[in-house]
Amino acid sequence: MSLYGKDFICTQEWMLEELMAVLDLAAEMKRDRFSDRWTSILKHKTFLMFFYNPSVRTRLSFEAAATELGGHAQFMTPSAGRFKTQKQAGETIEDAAQVMARYVAGIGIRILEDKVPYYGAGDEMLREYAHWADVPIINMADDRFHPCQGLADVMGWAEWYGGGPGQPDYDALRGKNFLLTWASGALARSWCSVQAALLIASRLGMNVTVARPEGYDLDPEVYEWTQQNCAASGFEFRVTSDRTKGYHGAHIVYSRNWVSPQAYRDGVLQKQTEIEKAMAYPGWTTTAERMALTDNAIFTHPMPVDRGSEVTDEVASGPRSAVYDIAENRLHVQKALMALTMENW
């Protein structure tokens, strides 16, 4: 099986054995981080990071990954060019993608919901880049999916239920109860990270519960895939509006604010309206009292964490919080992904 040249846009589009090849190499790379085995894989090669939106973890971890593979990561934002948009004339994706591909071994793109006129338009743009570029396109978070986050998440869960850092046990996740709960907050967050988590949790054989207020459902297609993934391995997918029920017996708790499906009006994300709407649902916070209802669950979050709204400090900084391990895993999974897709390694 070769992953050389393959785009990575959504985990659901990759076979499980392909995802496991990345995860297994990531663990090996984590255990032996600065080994000579990795340090020349991208020697003299460049990875382009094209960010329409800001980032801490994604930018830093991709840049460090390129360095540790012996290559270089180049940073660019749309303001560096004259790109065509719905409102202004400029360079097309067809031209930009084909030129970029002449310079680099791979292209990472981040384009989130506030930069596009409707839900899914960011994912469509990213796929247009993938259509025209003949080097791998890595999704660094679009408005639908954040697949690198999903891989880092599941690696972290498997380490916590396995042998610790660098020793993930993916079989140990089978049959575990995964709770994704909507959370209070004033950040009007994207769907990409939580949808990536649903897809990977269900793919790895967990019972999945989504808890959210009525009116905060996620993408119906992602719900359908999650349902299919769970059913394929004999596990359950449930959606509830109960704030507390999903905590009972949970092994992994993921709390995160997200916008409603009505977030766009007249081609613009209504961020302030979404923030005000979310304020009608206080008390959707992961607390120590709620965590006490679980089966000694770990707490997971892609970061940045909205402490005090999505989760209390006590839980986010508590002994069962996996957040920093997962943030670290972004580096290892992306390093493995780059080695396997950008070099015939």
Does 270 help bind ligand CP (rule: CB under 6 A)? no
What gap in Å lies between CA 170 and CA 205, rounded to an integer?
9
Binding test (CB under 6 A) with ligand CP, winner from 149, 226, 257, 312: 149
Residue number with CB closer to ligand CP (147 or 162) = 147
**Distance in Å, CB of 254 to ligand CP, minimum:** 12
Of the pair 51, 237, the CB lying nearest ligand CP is at 51
Can residue 57 be called a binding residue for ligand CP (CB under 6 A)?
A: yes
CA–CA gap between residue 69 and residue 280 (Å, rounded): 48
| Site map 289..308 versus ligand CP, x via CB under 6 A | -------------xx-----
Residue with tokens 């049959």: 175
Judge if the upstream peptide bond of residue 282 is cis by omega within 30 degrees of 0: no
Instruction: Provide the minimum distance between the beta carbon of 194 and ligand CP in the complex, in angstroms, as a whole number.
Output: 11
Nearer to ligand CP, 168 or 302 (CB): 302
Asked if residues 343 and 42 have their Cβ atoms less than 8 Å apart, the reply is: yes
CB of 148 to ligand CP, least distance (A): 8
- Taking the least distance from each CB to ligand CP, the nearer of 47 and 237 is 47
CB of 227 to ligand CP, least distance (A): 26
Q: What percent of the residues of the chain are helix, what percent strand, and what percent coil, each to the nearest 5?
A: 40, 15, 40
141, 336, 338, 340: which one contacts ligand CP (CB under 6 A)? 141
Shorter beta-carbon distance to ligand CP: residue 45 or 189: 189
Between residue 314 and residue 343, which ones bind ligand CP under the rule CB under 6 A?
Answer: none
Distance CA 106, CA 111 (A): 17
Nearest residue (CB) to ligand CP, 97 versus 327: 327
Q: Structure tokens of 151?
A: 């891989």
Residue 65 or 230: the one with the smaller Cβ distance to ligand CP is: 65
Using CB under 6 A as the binding rule, the residues of this chain from 58 to 77 that contact ligand CP are: 58
Give the span between the Cα atoms of 96 and 299, in whole angstroms: 41
56 in contact with ligand CP (CB under 6 A): yes
What secondary structure does DSSP assign to 185-239, as a single string? -SS---SHHHHHHHHHHHHTT-EEEEE--TT----HHHHHHHHHHHHHTT--EEE
Burial environment of residue 46 by CB neighbours within 10 A (0 to 12, 13 to 18, 19 or more):
middle
Count CB neighbours of 335 within 10 A: 27
d(CA 15, CA 126): 20
Cβ 76 to ligand CP, closest distance in Å?
16
* Total interface residues for ligand CP by CB under 6 A: 8
Nearer of residues 141 and 252 to ligand CP, judged by Cβ: 141
**Window contacting ligand CP (CB under 6 A); options: 54-62, 85-93, 123-131, 217-225:** 54-62
The residues binding ligand CP (CB under 6 A) are 55-58, 141, 149, 302-303
